[in-house]
Amino acid sequence: MSESRSTGSGSRVKVPGLSGRKADHLRLAMERRMQYRGDFFESYRFEHNALPEIDFDEIDTSSTFLGRKLSAPLLISCMTGGTGEAERINHNLAAGAETTAVAVGVGSQRAALEDPTREETFRIRSLAPSVPILANLGAVQLNYGYGIDECRRAVEMVEADALVFHLNPLQEALQPEGQRDFSGLLEKMARVADQLEVPVVVKEIGAGISRKVAEALLERGVRIVDTAGLGGTSWARIEAERAATPDAGELFADWGIPTPRAIRELREVPGLTIIGSGGVRNGVDSAKALALGADLVGLAYPFLHAAAESAGAVVDKVRRTIEELKICMFCVGARTIAELKRAELRDVRFPDES
């Protein structure tokens, strides 16, 4: 398998290694040592309601996203594709998402655009006919020969409801094969958002999105932003491991905006739909992300090991996450997600702040 690099004129030339890189990413991402070693959600506490005055069985976790009904506002975040193992994982994730009625995304589809024989590793619509599916490309590819045609191909490949552009400057800076020209991407993404037949979502991959960046995106027609903040998988550690420069990985392992802070910043941007992701591990974290201001909550690592096992394991993990979310709602007296979003949540490090 080969990948592309710029020749300086915007054209692409083939260089070896893309499928091998994706296999490395998948292998390393499953290792616990590649996760952030703290928990930014831990300092947030709900005010317990000892008299919730609601029936647990009547709690409604349902939500809608991209015009489709969900059992809960959860997204199995974009993770992988392009290799045989990734195909099995994507199929298990999709089948699990369909059974539990939650949204699901695929990993970067660049591998399939460069080599159409890899498209099947991403095709999941037949396994998930009723839930939102997110296609995925690196935004930086818009500086390396990609345009609206490639974006449409990515969407059509997975029959997606939206296209995710992922932003990953730290990863590209540390990656041995990194593509570091991020100039002019804002306007290029805006042109795609204007022309594409489905919505564009912009996400980070672990370093967070600030209010300033979100406002710039919204001004240019991008109305859905995924925080993907600091707190989950450390792509700095992963790429440094691949480059045999572990010191650099540790130096930048703490780089970024913690997910709770990113959600709180973005909730101040009117008209923005917020996906809160990055270090969300369970239903309690999910409840906190929603109360902080997220409209949808994305989880990746918690589902990765389950997907490596079976679709049934994914179903079990999603159902446990929703049950944990419901218990939180019960104990704060929230019948619906809308009521949960109004629940009292405090940062115990700063007891006078909500």
Residue 169 covered by a domain: yes
pLDDT tens across 97-111, in order? 999 999 999 999 999
- Whether residue 45 is contained in a domain is answered as yes
Max CA pair span of the chain: 66
Question: Which residue bears the tokens 């390393």?
Answer: 28
The pLDDT value given to residue 351: 65
Residue 87 dihedral angles phi and psi, to the nearest 5°? -60, -45
Token reading at 50:
């000892």
Q: Give a yes or no: residue 219 inside a domain.
A: yes
Q: CATH no. for residue 87? A: 3.20.20.70
Percent helix, strand, coil in the chain, to 5, is 45, 20, 40
Tokens 């540390």 found at: 174
Indicate the number of domains in the chain.
1
Residue 199 is assigned to a structural domain of this protein:
yes
- Distance, in Å, from the CA atom of 328 to the CA atom of 326, rounded to the nearest integer, reads 5
pLDDT of residue 17: 62
Residue 265 CB contacts under 8 Å (≥ 6 apart), including other chains: 210, 211, 214, 257
Residue partners of 50: CB distance under 8 A and separation at least 6: none
Q: What is the amino acid identity at position 249?
A: G
Q: Is residue 353 part of a domain?
A: no
Measured distance CA(192)–CA(163) in Å, rounded = 10
- Distance, CA of 14 to CA of 12 (rounded, Å): 7
pLDDT of residue 106: 97
- Residue pair 34/146 in contact by the 8 Å Cβ criterion: no
* CA 158 – CA 337 distance, rounded (Å): 29
Confirm whether 163 is domain-assigned. yes
Domain that holds residue 341: 2-347
Q: Does residue 165 fall inside a structural domain?
A: yes
Helix (H, G, I), strand (E, B) or coil at 331: helix
Residue ranges in the chain modelled with pLDDT below 70: 1-17, 351-354
Cα–Cα dist 128/118, whole Å: 19
286-320 pLDDT tens trace: 999 999 999 999 999 999 999 999 999 999 999 99
CA-nearest of 340, 238, 309, 199 to 317 is: 309
Strand, coil or helix: 16: strand
Question: For residue 352, is it within any domain?
Answer: no
The structure tokens 């000892």 sit at 50
Whole-prediction pTM value?
0.92
pLDDT at 37: 84
Q: Are 141 and 165 in contact (CB under 8 A)?
A: no
Type of residue found at 121: T
